[in-house]
Amino acid sequence: MSLNKRNERRLYLRFALILAAVCGLLLTEACGVRSDMQDQPRYDAYEKSDFFSDGRSSRDYPEGTVARGHLEDNKAFFTGKIDNPDPNAQAATSTDANGNTVVASFPNAITEFPLPVTKELIDRGEDRYKIYCMVCHGQFGDGDGMVVRRGFPQPPTYHDDRLRNAPVGHFFDVITNGWGKMNPYGYQVQAADRWAIVAYIRTLQLSRNPDSNLKMTSTANSNTGAPVPAKPEIPAANAATNRGGTR
């Protein structure tokens, strides 16, 4: 091998070593930066803190904080309760033949719908009822849903005098917060859909008692001009007089 060839080879090896050293240095620096990013000076959820006197890193929202779009200042619409309800009012309860603890009085509950009652609202309520309610309460509100037929405790029928005389706010409150063996659905069903379900329950009650004093009136009608049907239309397949199927 000639002298020039050997010098070129040595020069190439030196360049390769220098390049490898530079790459190794850059890689070390990059790893150091990544480690710093992974180990940021912040608290994880529920992590203990020595900075705050209560030892908690998670802080409470300032009093009066409301998430954007969630002011919910319409008490009747979002709670089913009257304005300025009596917090000390206690509902009278009793036990039915199936062991359910049932409400016999309805303090603070509103008696009229806080939104216009329309056919569209009732149709929406029927759709939501079949998704969330029918499995226990049955297709026509008799408390004979499919899970009841398979051994789950039977809920009260919507067609007894107690619930026919119950104000609409009671049904909304029970859907929202649950009652007895029924779980709350406030986190699953938005408020407008809960009122739609209540409207459909009233429709089921009216289908059995078309001459009763049940009302589908709404406090919102005077503001919106929306019509309120005295006897909402019920699809023929759901009419209580056509109660086919096994029990």
Query: What CATH number is attached to the domain comprising 157?
Result: 1.10.760.10
Residue 172 lies in a domain: yes
pLDDT at 198: 97
Residue 134 lies in a domain: yes
What is the maximal distance between C-alpha atoms in the chain?
117
For residue 18, pLDDT beyond 90: no
Q: What would the pLDDT profile of 64-101 be if each residue is shown by its tens digit?
A: 898 888 888 899 999 999 998 888 888 888 887 777 77
Residue 67 lies in a domain: no
Q: What would the pLDDT profile of 168-219 be if each residue is shown by its tens digit?
A: 999 999 999 998 889 999 999 999 999 999 999 999 999 998 877 777 888 7
For residue 48, pLDDT beyond 60: yes
Residue 3 lies in a domain: no
Mean pLDDT of 40-67: 87
Residue 25 lies in a domain: no
pLDDT at 175: 97
pLDDT at 150: 95
Other residues' Cβ atoms within 10 Å of the Cβ of residue 124 = 18
Q: Could you tell me the residue range of the domain that residue 106 belongs to?
A: 99-238
Residue 59 lies in a domain: no
Residue 207 lies in a domain: yes
Domain count, the chain: 1
Residue 13 lies in a domain: no
Q: What would the pLDDT profile of 148-176 be if each residue is shown by its tens digit?
A: 999 999 999 999 989 999 999 999 999 99
Percentage of the residues of the chain whose pLDDT score is greater than 70: 81
